[in-house]
Amino acid sequence: MGHVYLQTIAVTVSATANGAARGERRPERLVWRGREYTVAEVLSTWRLRDRWWEELPPLSDALLPGEQPQPGQPGHGQGRRLGGASERTYWRVRCEGDGGGVEGLICDVYEDAARGVWVLDTVYD
């Protein structure tokens, strides 16, 4: 079973050996809920290009997953979410905790190239 979070996260990346020619970047470390995880194994990867017919809203006008609009910001009181096209590279990874008693996790993360953000999509039990 998995839990969907759709939260932006900090990710450290490196070029993949087989994807370097395409400029593909592989997640190596991620920080979620204040804890650092090291990617121990990439289980699978895939790409998704959705809503290609729509334009992206300006990033300043969009709310990233997990963000709440602030008074005076575009989208305040409107419940506006990211809309428009996105181009995502998903990675299902097995991560190890930081050694501070944190267990490992299996999760799906993606890089949304159109917006330049990494998102923790799903964490599996």
State phi, psi for 115 to the nearest 5 degrees: -110, -15
Put simply, whether the predicted model's pTM sits higher than 0.75 gets the answer no
Domain boundaries, the chain: 2-66+83-124
- Provide the 10 A C-beta neighbour count for residue 114: 15
Q: What is the pLDDT of residues 47-72, one digit of tens each?
A: 887 766 666 555 555 555 556 556 55
Q: What is the pLDDT of residues 22-52, one digit of tens each?
A: 566 799 999 998 999 999 999 999 988 776 6
